[in-house]
Chain A
Amino acid sequence: MGSITLKQVTKNFDEVNVIKPLDLEIRDGEFIVFVGPSGCGKSTLLRMIAGLEDTTSGNIDIDGQDATSTPPAKRGLAMVFQSYALYPHMSVRNNIAFPLKRAKVPAAEIEQKIASAAKILNLGDYLDRKPGQLSGGQRQRVAIGRAIVRQPSAFLFDEPLSNLDASLRVNMRLEISELHKSLKTTMIYVTHDQVEAMTMADRIAVFNAGIIEQVGTPLELYQHPVNRFVAGFIGSPKMNFIELKQTKEDGATCLGVRPEHFQITTDAGIWSGKVGVVEHLGSETFLHVQVDGIGTLTVKANGDCPLSYGDDISLSADQSKILRFNDQGITLPSKGNQ
């Protein structure tokens, strides 16, 4: 069990309002990612769910029970912190055993739970070491181990991978996803990295300035962002925004084109410009094209793209893939659907 319902939850720090009234339903067993730029309130909301921050108003229900003012330990949630927050003077074994000992679990059962956690997370060889003797990835595993032995109804992850190097991050991402598949426990994962969000989430909640802009599956957000913020935040490289000189009859003031939706044509396309920096990644190539009156557009091309700096090119785009935004940044219904 692990469904969490937020009803009209707000948070003020003194006079500053960091979370505006917010509703969110987190389903049992799902992997939901809170993503957004720094300072958007996503970590604060996670800490409120954990009980580490008071809720200014509104209700947090866990498994149908009102838990708004329940102390953290009684909520049945486990959290993995950005700094891992391992207890440095305790061995890995004691770190993992700490929550169990506090809960007065019998020693034999503790041993057995540590053994199974160590097996899941490949920690067997490190159980008697201190956290200081472990690498970042190993510490991360210990932190997760400390969380899973409690058999919580939901796991909360607060930017757990941001202290790891790039290759380790990819590995841990996979490990956490696999853990979710095998444990089938609700996981709430906070990150500012949209790649982590896209790759791991069942559903993503995009935060911006204390509100949730959109909640949906990764592909929903990618293909049908409700507004310009979500469109720009999800996807890497970023979506290209082309401001229109004149407002269209349906109110569109801006077009959004993803880099992969451009077609490079030799004859006159919609936009023509000069190729700037060319980034060859092997499997694909990113062209930064200078277009007069618009600025730089990022264009995704094939890996063996022959273009180079200074070439003149012409671009067109599939009309059905172009997103159109009005002056409030709201996405207008696409032409392809009309």
Chain B
Amino acid sequence: MATTHSRTLAQFMLFPSVVLLLAWMIVPLCMTLYFSFLDYNLLSPGTEEFIGFLNYEFFLTDPAFFESFFNTLLLVGGVLLITICGGIGLAILLDQAIWGRNYVRIMVLAPFFVMPTVSALVWKNMLMNPVNGLFAHFATFIGVDPVDFFAQIPLLSIIIIVSWQWLPFAALILLTAIQSLDREQLEAADLDGAGPFSKFFYIVLPHLSRAITAVILIETIFLLSIFAEILVTTSGGPGYESTNITYLIYTQSLLQFDVGGGSAGGIIAVIIANIVAIFLMRLIGKNLEG
């Protein structure tokens, strides 16, 4: 890429893929934007008309919106908290010299390869089922009433399932970060009289800050759009207790056939995601610099 000529050529060759990617993103976004201003219900086809911001007004004043908005935040925040803390712990354990370490690392990564629907069904039917689930059996064994997870603590149950899926991802990224820590720094800290806790808080944790930032940013993007786990376990219920924004949009457009309302919800979700992104970049994005 040294000469002006080769730079121009490179830009020209990049052009088709850039256009394709841009179209891929712009066309659906514009269509969603367009639908969100229409009174467009699949139950009464052919009666579409422009209604301005009415869809937005309905969506935003729906009490379910606020509940699902807070559920979304709780879901994202809860999963982030569990995966980061658990991930750091797991990464430190996996960094120890143990027999068969490489196999253990592959095993730990396994949940990440299981499809969300499958893992949610496994949790729902084999672990959290109030009658046949493993947890219920354990509860009866120690003489406690089994918890009906999806009825009593639906959102927490979903947070647990999603955390289980994302823990390996966090652990793996943090493990590679821990492995890149200069051992001489830890030895210097040993000589400087730092105990295990001082070493963790003053040396390991600051070293991990960039990796933690990356995990938070990547996970947030995916966690804002959690859907399959809710669909196959609680279907957003009871009431709206485990409905997040994504699931609310689904109910709006595919259960109530209100394409216009759903599209307005979609645009609002995009705006919320962007607000979260700006907020995160301001808060922790500086860790990625330098």
Write the A295-308 contact mask toward B (1 if CB under 8 angstroms, else 0).
00000000000000
- A-chain residues with CB within 8 Å of residue B191 when the two chains form the complex: 50-52, 72-73, 77-79, 99
The CA of A85 and the CA of B194, in the complex, are separated in Å by 14
Contact A85 B188 (CB under 8 A): yes
Contact of A73 among B184, B185, B192 (CB under 8 A): B192
Check B184 against A98 for contact (C-beta < 8 Å). Answer: no
- Asked whether any CB of chain B lies closer than 8 Å to the CB of A245, the reply is no
Q: A73-B190, A98-B194, A102-B193 are in contact. Are A81 and B184 (CB under 8 A)?
A: yes
Q: How far is the CA of A90 from the CA of B193 in the complex (A)?
A: 17
- Interface contact A89-B192, CB-CB below 8 Å: no
Chain A CB count within 10 A is highest, among B193, B194, B198, B202, for B193
Interface string of A85-122 (1 = CB under 8 A from B): 11111100000001100110000000000000000000
Instruction: Return chain A residues, CB-CB under 8 Å to B203.
Output: 87
Q: Cβ of A85 and Cβ of B182 under 8 Å apart?
A: yes
B187 in the interface, Cβ–Cβ < 8 Å?
A: yes
Whether B184 lies near A85 (C-beta < 8 A) is yes
B206 at the interface (CB under 8 A from A): yes
Question: Is B202 in contact with A98, judged by CB distance below 8 angstroms?
Answer: yes
Q: In this assembly, does A83 line the interface, its C-beta being within 8 Å of a C-beta of chain B?
A: yes
Determine if A102 and B187 form an interchain contact, defined as CB atoms under 8 angstroms apart.
no
Report B260 CB to chain A, min CB distance, Å.
51
Bound-state Cα–Cα, A79 to B194, Å: 14
Task: Determine whether A42 belongs to the interface, using a CB cutoff of 8 Å to chain B.
Answer: no
Contact A89 B188 (CB under 8 A): no
A79 adjacent to B188 (CB under 8 Å): yes
Cα(A51)–Cα(B195), bound, Å = 15
Interface SS of chain B = helix
B105 within 8 A of A: no
Indicate if B207 sits at the interface (CB-CB under 8 A). Answer: yes
* Bound CA–CA A329/B207 (angstroms): 51
A44–B174 Cα distance when bound, in Å, is 30
In the assembled complex, the Cα of A73 lies from the Cα of B185 at a distance in Å of 14
By a CB distance below 8 angstroms, the chain B residues around A52 are: 187, 190-191
Q: Is the CB of B198 within 8 A of A102?
A: yes
**Is residue A82 within 8 Å, beta carbon to beta carbon, of the partner chain?**
yes
Q: Are A83 and B184 in contact (CB under 8 A)?
A: yes
List B239-290 residues whose CB lies under 8 Å from chain A.
290
Which of A73, A79, A88, A132 is in CB contact (< 8 Å) with B193? A73
Closest Cβ of chain A to B6, distance in Å, is 34
Query: CB of A228 within 8 A of chain B?
Result: no
| Residues of chain A with a CB closer than 8 A to B187's CB | 50, 52, 72, 79, 81, 85
Report chain B residues within 8 Å CB of A150: 192
- Does B192 lie within 8 Å of A146, measured CB to CB? yes
Q: Name A26-85 residues within 8 Å CB distance of B.
A: 50-52, 71-73, 77-79, 81-83, 85
Against A, the Cβ 8 Å flags (1 = close, 0 = not) of B21-33 are 0000000000000
- A82, A83, A102, A132: the one contacting B192 at CB < 8 Å is A102
Chain B residues near A50 (CB-CB < 8 A): 187, 191
Q: What residue in chain A is nearest B185 (Cβ atoms)?
A: A85
**Docked pose: A55 CA to B9 CA in angstroms:** 64
26 intermolecular pairs with C-beta atoms under 8 Å apart: A50-B187, A51-B190, A52-B191, A71-B190, A72-B190, A72-B191, A73-B192, A77-B191, A78-B191, A79-B188, A82-B184, A85-B185, A85-B187, A87-B185, A87-B189, A87-B202, A89-B209, A90-B202, A98-B189, A98-B202, A99-B192, A102-B192, A102-B194, A102-B198, A103-B193, A146-B192
Give the 8 A-B residue pairs with the shortest CB-CB distance, closest first: A73-B193, A99-B192, A85-B184, A85-B188, A89-B206, A102-B193, A81-B184, A72-B190
Known: A71-B190, A82-B184, A89-B206. 20 other contacts (CB 8 A): A50-B187, A72-B190, A72-B191, A73-B190, A73-B191, A79-B191, A81-B184, A83-B184, A85-B184, A86-B185, A87-B206, A90-B202, A98-B189, A99-B192, A102-B194, A102-B195, A103-B193, A146-B188, A146-B192, A150-B192
